[in-house]
Amino acid sequence: MNEDQKKKLIELIGEENVVFDEPMNKHTTFRIGGNAESFVRVQSTKEMDVLTDFCRENDIPFFLLGKGSNILVGDNGIPGVVAYFGEEMSSITVKGNMIIAEAGATLAAVANTALQKGLTGFEFAAGIPGSVGGALRMNAGAYGGDMAQVVEWVRVLSPDGEIKTLTNEEMEFGYRHSILKDIPYIALAAGIALETGDEKSIRFAMLELANRRKEKQPLEYPSAGSTFKRPEGYFAGKLISEAGLSGARIHDAVVSEKHNGFIINEGCASAEDVKTLIEIVRRKVYEQSGVLLEPEIIMVGE
């Protein structure tokens, strides 16, 4: 971005909502990554429309960040604009058995709201450290549940500035996939349809899943969650273990011994370290089993 474009960005969004050269390791669960050229807090649908128009008209790269829980940012950072929804776009409301959550809301906050209202069906998401918007894009899931099972509709902003409401079917949910990965819609909010349940049972289920996560996942280290997608008919962690890669490392990027499906950052790992280790794991697993693992982590930037 040139200086005139930076001034225009501040004029459009407000100086208090724009930071230049923002370290992305502060905004990802991996704690890795170079700087964002500009880091922009968006407070309304109108602002998001204005911002995306500005980027498109000036040929400026645009990336929408959720909670940074499933991405690896390159060591040279992210050019252009990195946008995120502020608290103003993170509301959660309840209408009967439906929770209406804006894209910036955390999954944990939605799960806690469901618990308070005695609504069941969202317990699986309580421990996923992501936002509603990111979860919709990736069809986030855990322990047999995913967004596809509970989302009734999604309100999106289209590239031409139109606000549309997509049905569950129109979202084209699949394994770690939705239409948001194919068409540059921006998720604004979702209607999450749940069922009436018993608060004690819901709380117990959430605690049980939290304990399972703590017992089996390396939550004590920065990571981006499961590094690889689950290959059909296999478990990535088991394949990695069988290839003798438990504890394998490139500097501070390490295959977790607690859960081989996770690559963790033991201190000062770089994005290049993680990428190198991912490719070593993929190659050796393929040589051992004939299964080519596909990364679940989204790699962003340079």
Tokens of 123: 């317990």
Q: Please compute, for residue 179, the number of CA atoms within 13 A of its CA located in the half-sphere on the CB side.
A: 18
Q: Is 123 a catalytic residue?
A: no
Burial class (CB in 10 A: 0-12, 13-18, 19+), 172: middle
Q: Tell me whether strands 298-300 and 71-73 are parallel, antiparallel or unpaired.
A: parallel
Catalytic residue among 38, 131, 226, 256: 226
Q: Name the residue among 144, 150, 131, 127 with its Cα closest to residue 207.
A: 127
Rounded to whole angstroms, the Cα distance separating 252 from 277 reads 10
3-state secondary structure of 136: helix
Which residue is catalytic, options 37, 102, 123, 296?
296
Tokens 């930071």 belong to which residue? 19
Backbone angle region of 209, left / alpha / beta, with phi > 0 → left and psi within -120 to 50 → alpha: alpha
Identify the active-site residue in 31, 137, 155, 176: 176
Q: Using alpha carbons, select from 13, 17, 11, 20 the residue that is nearest to residue 47.
A: 13
**Dihedral angle computed from the Cα positions of residues 95, 147, 301 and 253, in that order, rounded to the nearest 10 degrees:** 120
Catalytic residue check, 226: yes
294 flagged as catalytic: no
Annotated catalytic residues are 176, 226, 296
